[in-house]
Structures are given as structure tokens and as C-alpha cells.
Amino acid sequence: MAVSVLVDKVCVVNGAASTIGRAVADRFAREGALVVGVDKDEHSVGDHAVRADLTDESQVQAMYDGVVDKYGRLDVIYNNMGLMDRGDHSALDISLQTWRAVHDANLTSIFLSCKHGIPHLLNTAPVGGSVINSASFLAAVGSATAPMAYAAAKAGVVQLTRDLGVHLARSGVRVNAVLFGPIETPDQRAVFDRNPGALEKRLVHWPMGRFGALEEAAGTIAFLAGDDSGFITATAVPLDGGITEAFTVPE
């Protein structure tokens, strides 16, 4: 029988209304956690569902204060924030408005969550906990076709994660990022459905030749949240089926 590794831990899942956010919240719950789901949209994810705009500092601070007031502790933060904008492509021709919107959604939101959430991890007895930030394999490679504001923002997430992980390493608080590759969600499918034939061309360059499953994504996040990953911090874990490491793959 599997051991429930998050028993009695209070876990905040930000961006909980998304497909991946819901999958992670469900996995945390199965592992015995008390889950607080947070999203700007109306939702019912978690034992306690909260609406908050994660790009608004006052709302982020109030959300974390409310969680600790209600439950008396905080153990895990999963920052599942992300936005891809159709106007985001080459840095030579995207608008400043798009650049700022993408960075607010993908980087500023995670900065605010870390700024106001981590102090509660440090004040929970015993001190410690885990922060997992959502990034992308695009942060680790160069791509002629990448949405450049998104890739730059996710690279910022990786660097913020690295710096915080090192800064907090002796405190008991661990900070890691996940470099997401293509995970099977309706939104991910829709990206390729808008461009007939694009998926077949892309699959040639994916070593595993398939999307990642939601269960695989949620399991990776749960591992980083739990004590089994206690010696892992300040790193970006690839969850991409080998895409980041691939130069060419056989057809």
C-alpha cells in the first residue's frame, strides 16, 4: 500500500482552476494533504477554495495571511501560474503591452507568491517546507519559433528559483522549479489543433514521441513537495520527455 507522504501538511496550489492545477490538487489530497486551491476564477478546487488575483500584491498577501490564520501553518506552495498570449512571438515585433502582461502572469505572480508565502514556511513549526514553481523547457533552450516573452519570463522563474533555493538552503525551506514540456491538456491540444499538421512535425523532435500525462506531472510535483526529495533544492527538474536534451531523434 502506498504511503501518504503529505499527511496533515497544508498545501497551497496557485492556479488551481487549470487542468494541471486540479490534477496536482487531487494528487496532494490523495497523499493526505489539506489543500487550499487559489485562482482568480471561480472554482471549487481543494478543501478550501480561494479567489485571488495572483498578480495583485495585496491580494496575494491577504490570501497567505488568511490560510495561516485558518489552519495555523503552511507547508507547501505550488505555483502553477502561466499564460501564453497569441500576440507573443518574436521580441522584434511584440507589443510592450503583451510583454508586460506575459511577464506579470508568468514571473511577477510567482515572485509575489514567494515573497508573501515563504515567510509563513519559515514561521511554521518545525521550520521548513517546499516551494515548487512552474517553468518551461523553453527556459533552457533557444528556439526560433518560441513565444519570446513567455520563454524569457520562465527563464526568470528558473533564476528566481535557483537564487531562493540557495538563499534558503540552510533554513529547511526548499525551492525548485519544474521545466514543463508538452502535457496532455485540452489547452495544449488546442495549440496544435489551430495549426493542422503542426503536431506531426513536432513529434519528430520529441524523444518519447508523445505528450506527458497529467498523472506524471502531478506525481513529479508531489515528489518535490514531499520529504523524499529533501536533498533537492535550487534546481529545475525537466518534465519534458527528454526534449531539452535532444538534438536530433530517429524517425
Residues known to be catalytic = 150
Residues in the chain: 251
Q: How are the residues of the chain apportioned to helix, strand and coil, as percentages rounded to the nearest 5? A: 45, 15, 40
Pairing state between β 76-79 and 10-14: parallel
Question: How far are the Cα atoms of 21, 83, 86, 142 from residue 187, in angstroms, in the given order?
Answer: 13, 11, 13, 23
Q: What type of residue sits at position 82?
A: G
Nearest to 198 by CA among 185, 183, 190: 190
Dmax over CA atoms of the chain, in Å, equals 55
Quote the CA–CA distance of 93 and 96 in Å, as a whole number. Answer: 9
Nearest to 59 by CA among 33, 84, 38: 38
Nearest to 67 by CA among 19, 9, 106, 23: 9
